[in-house]
Amino acid sequence: MELTIECQKRPEGSKPNAMRRQGQLPAVLYGHNGAESVSLVMDMKAAELLVNKASVNNTLINLNVTDMPWNGKALLREVQAHPWRGSLYHLSFFSVGQQDSLQVTVPLHFVGTAIGVKQEGGALDTVLNGLEISCAPNNIPETIEVDVSNLHAGELLHVSELQLPAGITVLGDPERVVVTVLGRGGQVSEEVAQEG
Protein backbone atom coordinates (compact mmCIF):
# COMPACT_ATOMS: atom_id res chain seq x y z
CA MET A 1 0.00 0.00 0.00
CA GLU A 2 1.28 3.45 -0.92
CA LEU A 3 -0.12 6.74 0.38
CA THR A 4 0.48 10.34 -0.72
CA ILE A 5 0.68 13.52 1.33
CA GLU A 6 1.54 17.11 0.41
CA CYS A 7 3.64 19.36 2.61
CA GLN A 8 5.77 22.51 2.49
CA LYS A 9 9.05 23.63 3.98
CA ARG A 10 8.47 25.03 7.45
CA PRO A 11 9.07 28.80 7.58
CA GLU A 12 12.14 29.88 9.58
CA GLY A 13 11.30 30.91 13.16
CA SER A 14 7.80 29.39 13.12
CA LYS A 15 6.55 28.13 16.47
CA PRO A 16 5.26 24.52 16.52
CA ASN A 17 2.42 25.24 19.00
CA ALA A 18 1.19 28.21 16.95
CA MET A 19 1.26 26.03 13.83
CA ARG A 20 -0.80 23.33 15.55
CA ARG A 21 -3.39 25.93 16.62
CA GLN A 22 -3.68 26.93 12.93
CA GLY A 23 -4.37 23.32 11.89
CA GLN A 24 -0.82 22.60 10.73
CA LEU A 25 1.53 19.84 11.89
CA PRO A 26 5.33 20.12 12.06
CA ALA A 27 7.29 17.26 10.48
CA VAL A 28 10.83 16.45 9.39
CA LEU A 29 12.35 14.56 6.45
CA TYR A 30 15.67 12.72 6.77
CA GLY A 31 17.80 10.91 4.22
CA HIS A 32 16.74 12.79 1.09
CA ASN A 33 20.13 14.50 0.80
CA GLY A 34 22.73 12.60 2.81
CA ALA A 35 22.71 13.56 6.50
CA GLU A 36 20.78 16.78 5.82
CA SER A 37 17.26 17.07 7.20
CA VAL A 38 14.51 19.47 6.23
CA SER A 39 11.76 20.83 8.49
CA LEU A 40 8.28 20.50 6.98
CA VAL A 41 4.72 21.49 7.75
CA MET A 42 1.54 19.75 6.60
CA ASP A 43 -2.20 19.98 7.04
CA MET A 44 -3.22 18.43 10.39
CA LYS A 45 -6.33 16.65 8.99
CA ALA A 46 -4.32 15.14 6.11
CA ALA A 47 -1.66 14.01 8.61
CA GLU A 48 -4.29 12.38 10.85
CA LEU A 49 -5.72 10.47 7.86
CA LEU A 50 -2.21 9.39 6.89
CA VAL A 51 -1.39 8.14 10.39
CA ASN A 52 -4.68 6.18 10.52
CA LYS A 53 -3.82 4.36 7.27
CA ALA A 54 -0.02 4.03 7.54
CA SER A 55 2.13 1.78 9.70
CA VAL A 56 5.36 3.13 11.17
CA ASN A 57 8.40 1.71 9.32
CA ASN A 58 6.17 -0.30 7.00
CA THR A 59 4.09 1.84 4.63
CA LEU A 60 5.62 3.66 1.66
CA ILE A 61 4.44 7.26 1.40
CA ASN A 62 4.75 9.52 -1.63
CA LEU A 63 5.93 12.72 0.00
CA ASN A 64 5.18 15.72 -2.20
CA VAL A 65 7.07 18.79 -0.94
CA THR A 66 5.43 21.49 -3.07
CA ASP A 67 7.95 24.31 -2.55
CA MET A 68 11.26 22.50 -2.99
CA PRO A 69 12.71 20.44 -5.81
CA TRP A 70 12.24 17.11 -4.03
CA ASN A 71 9.40 14.65 -4.23
CA GLY A 72 9.87 11.01 -3.42
CA LYS A 73 9.07 7.92 -1.47
CA ALA A 74 9.53 7.88 2.29
CA LEU A 75 8.72 5.75 5.29
CA LEU A 76 6.91 7.16 8.29
CA ARG A 77 9.61 6.68 10.95
CA GLU A 78 8.07 8.25 14.05
CA VAL A 79 4.73 9.57 15.22
CA GLN A 80 4.72 11.83 18.28
CA ALA A 81 1.29 12.28 19.87
CA HIS A 82 -0.18 13.54 23.13
CA PRO A 83 -0.09 10.63 25.64
CA TRP A 84 -3.82 10.45 26.39
CA ARG A 85 -5.57 12.81 23.99
CA GLY A 86 -3.92 11.19 21.00
CA SER A 87 -3.56 14.52 19.16
CA LEU A 88 -0.51 14.61 16.86
CA TYR A 89 2.55 16.66 17.75
CA HIS A 90 5.12 15.75 15.10
CA LEU A 91 5.90 13.27 12.29
CA SER A 92 9.29 12.07 11.07
CA PHE A 93 9.86 10.67 7.56
CA PHE A 94 12.87 8.86 6.08
CA SER A 95 13.52 9.04 2.33
CA VAL A 96 13.96 5.65 0.67
CA GLY A 97 14.58 6.90 -2.88
CA GLN A 98 18.29 6.03 -3.00
CA GLN A 99 17.99 2.87 -0.92
CA ASP A 100 18.45 -0.54 -2.60
CA SER A 101 17.05 -2.30 0.44
CA LEU A 102 15.46 -1.36 3.75
CA GLN A 103 15.16 -2.99 7.14
CA VAL A 104 11.54 -2.93 8.28
CA THR A 105 9.37 -4.78 10.77
CA VAL A 106 6.32 -6.41 9.22
CA PRO A 107 3.37 -7.66 11.31
CA LEU A 108 2.53 -11.36 11.17
CA HIS A 109 -1.03 -12.32 10.23
CA PHE A 110 -2.06 -15.76 11.50
CA VAL A 111 -4.52 -17.60 9.25
CA GLY A 112 -6.40 -20.86 9.63
CA THR A 113 -7.35 -22.81 12.72
CA ALA A 114 -4.75 -25.27 13.98
CA ILE A 115 -5.73 -28.96 14.09
CA GLY A 116 -4.36 -28.96 17.65
CA VAL A 117 -6.91 -26.29 18.60
CA LYS A 118 -9.89 -27.47 16.56
CA GLN A 119 -9.65 -31.23 17.20
CA GLU A 120 -7.24 -31.78 20.07
CA GLY A 121 -8.33 -29.17 22.62
CA GLY A 122 -5.08 -27.17 22.53
CA ALA A 123 -4.52 -23.41 22.49
CA LEU A 124 -2.60 -21.31 19.98
CA ASP A 125 0.33 -19.42 21.54
CA THR A 126 1.80 -16.71 19.28
CA VAL A 127 5.40 -16.03 20.26
CA LEU A 128 6.22 -13.42 17.57
CA ASN A 129 3.83 -10.74 16.31
CA GLY A 130 6.22 -9.11 13.83
CA LEU A 131 9.26 -10.03 11.80
CA GLU A 132 12.25 -7.84 10.95
CA ILE A 133 13.07 -8.20 7.27
CA SER A 134 15.21 -6.66 4.56
CA CYS A 135 13.68 -5.91 1.15
CA ALA A 136 13.51 -3.36 -1.67
CA PRO A 137 11.51 -0.21 -0.83
CA ASN A 138 8.82 -1.09 -3.39
CA ASN A 139 8.53 -4.65 -2.09
CA ILE A 140 7.48 -4.08 1.56
CA PRO A 141 4.63 -6.47 2.41
CA GLU A 142 1.80 -5.09 4.58
CA THR A 143 1.76 -8.37 6.52
CA ILE A 144 3.33 -11.83 6.34
CA GLU A 145 0.77 -14.62 6.46
CA VAL A 146 1.43 -17.52 8.81
CA ASP A 147 -0.78 -20.53 8.09
CA VAL A 148 -1.26 -22.47 11.33
CA SER A 149 -3.90 -24.94 10.08
CA ASN A 150 -1.58 -28.00 10.03
CA LEU A 151 -0.19 -27.57 13.56
CA HIS A 152 -1.04 -30.29 16.08
CA ALA A 153 -0.96 -29.91 19.86
CA GLY A 154 2.64 -29.67 21.06
CA GLU A 155 3.96 -28.60 17.64
CA LEU A 156 5.60 -25.31 16.73
CA LEU A 157 6.59 -23.27 13.70
CA HIS A 158 10.03 -21.63 13.25
CA VAL A 159 10.86 -18.47 11.30
CA SER A 160 12.75 -20.61 8.76
CA GLU A 161 9.51 -22.51 7.97
CA LEU A 162 7.52 -19.42 6.95
CA GLN A 163 6.46 -18.97 3.31
CA LEU A 164 7.89 -15.54 2.47
CA PRO A 165 7.21 -13.41 -0.59
CA ALA A 166 10.01 -13.24 -3.20
CA GLY A 167 12.76 -10.72 -2.48
CA ILE A 168 12.32 -10.82 1.31
CA THR A 169 15.23 -11.68 3.61
CA VAL A 170 14.55 -12.38 7.29
CA LEU A 171 16.91 -10.74 9.76
CA GLY A 172 17.84 -12.43 13.02
CA ASP A 173 17.83 -16.08 14.05
CA PRO A 174 15.84 -18.26 11.59
CA GLU A 175 15.28 -20.84 14.34
CA ARG A 176 13.16 -18.51 16.50
CA VAL A 177 9.76 -19.92 17.35
CA VAL A 178 6.89 -18.00 15.72
CA VAL A 179 3.90 -19.92 17.10
CA THR A 180 3.15 -23.10 18.99
CA VAL A 181 0.04 -25.05 19.89
CA LEU A 182 -0.13 -25.75 23.61
CA GLY A 183 -1.64 -29.12 24.50
CA ARG A 184 -4.37 -29.55 27.10
CA GLY A 185 -3.28 -28.01 30.38
CA GLY A 186 -0.70 -25.80 28.65
CA GLN A 187 1.75 -28.58 27.76
CA VAL A 188 4.44 -27.69 25.26
CA SER A 189 6.73 -29.89 23.23
CA GLU A 190 10.23 -30.66 24.59
CA GLU A 191 11.78 -28.38 21.96
CA VAL A 192 9.70 -25.37 23.04
CA ALA A 193 10.43 -26.07 26.71
CA GLN A 194 14.19 -26.18 25.96
CA GLU A 195 14.07 -22.96 23.94
CA GLY A 196 11.99 -21.13 26.58
Tell me the pLDDT tens digit for each residue of 2-29.
Answer: 688 888 888 888 888 888 899 999 999 9
Which pLDDT does position 188 carry in this prediction? 56
Q: How far apart are CA 96 and CA 32, in angstroms?
A: 8
Checking if the pLDDT of 66 tops 60, the result is yes
pLDDT of residue 157: 93
Close Cβ partners of 12 (under 8 Å, ≥ 6 residues apart): none
Rounded Cα distance, 8 and 46, in Å: 13
At 112-148, the pLDDT tens digits run 999 888 888 889 999 999 999 998 877 888 889 999 9
Q: Which residues are CB-neighbours of 71 under 8 A, at least 6 positions away? A: 62, 63, 64, 65
pLDDT band at 99 (very low <50, low <70, confident <90, very high): low
Q: Give me the pLDDT at residue 177, please.
A: 94
pLDDT value at 176 more than 80: yes
Q: How confident is the model at residue 186 (pLDDT cuts 50, 70, 90)?
A: low
Round the average pLDDT of the chain to a whole number and report it.
85
Confidence of residue 196 (pLDDT cuts 50, 70, 90): very low
E runs forming strands in 16-168: 24-33, 36-43, 60-65, 70-81, 88-95, 102-111, 123-126, 130-135, 144-147, 156-158
CATH of span 2-95: 2.40.240.10
For 163, other C-beta atoms within 10 Å of its C-beta total: 8
Q: Provide the pLDDT for residue 98.
A: 64
How distant, in Å, are the alpha carbons of 101, 161, 179, 184 from that of 39? 25, 43, 42, 56
pLDDT of 149 reads 92
Q: Is the pTM of this model over 0.75?
A: no
pLDDT at 137: 79
Cα distances (Å, whole numbers) of residue 140 to 5, 90, 115, 145, 184? 19, 24, 31, 13, 38
pLDDT band at 159 (very low <50, low <70, confident <90, very high): very high
- The domain covering 102-195 belongs, at the CATH homologous superfamily level, to Ribosomal protein L25, C-terminal domain (2.170.120.20)
Domain limits, the chain: 2-95, 102-195
pLDDT score of 60 more than 90? no
pLDDT for position 192: 47
Return the pLDDT at 104: 84
Round to whole Å and give the CA distance between 150 and 15.
57
- Phi then psi for residue 82, to 5 deg, are -60, 135
